[in-house]
Amino acid sequence: MQTISQETFHVKTKTTFHMKLFTSKTQKLGELGEDIACKFLKKQGFSIIERNYTKKWGEIDIVAKGKESFILLR
């Protein structure tokens, strides 16, 4: 029986983003508002980390990172 170190199995995984499909008029309007907010934040020097971050407790529409701060938008 061969012993293999745990380091052999260390695999760096990529984060996969799945965009939501918005179908109703209000969802499409909300997505447009988020797009505008993202453009504004980028012009202010923020990086968009994630959109529509969903967990069992709720959703954060935009997660953005600046030089010294994070912004969470709902």
Domain ranges of the chain: 46-74
φ/ψ (deg, to 5) at 36: -65, -45
Name, in order, each residue with C-beta under 8 angstroms of 73's C-beta and a sequence gap of 6 or more: 34, 37, 60, 61, 62, 63, 64
Displacement of CA 58 from its chain's centroid (Å): 14
Query: Does position 12 have pLDDT exceeding 60, yes or no?
Result: no
Contact 37, 51 (CB under 8 A): no
pLDDT confidence bin for 1, thresholds 50/70/90: very low
The rounded distance, in Å, linking the Cα atoms of 18 and 68 is 28
**Full-model pTM:** 0.63
Angle at 6 between CA 5 and CA 11, to 5 degrees: 130
> Of the given ranges (19-28, 40-49, 53-62), which has the lowest mean pLDDT?
19-28
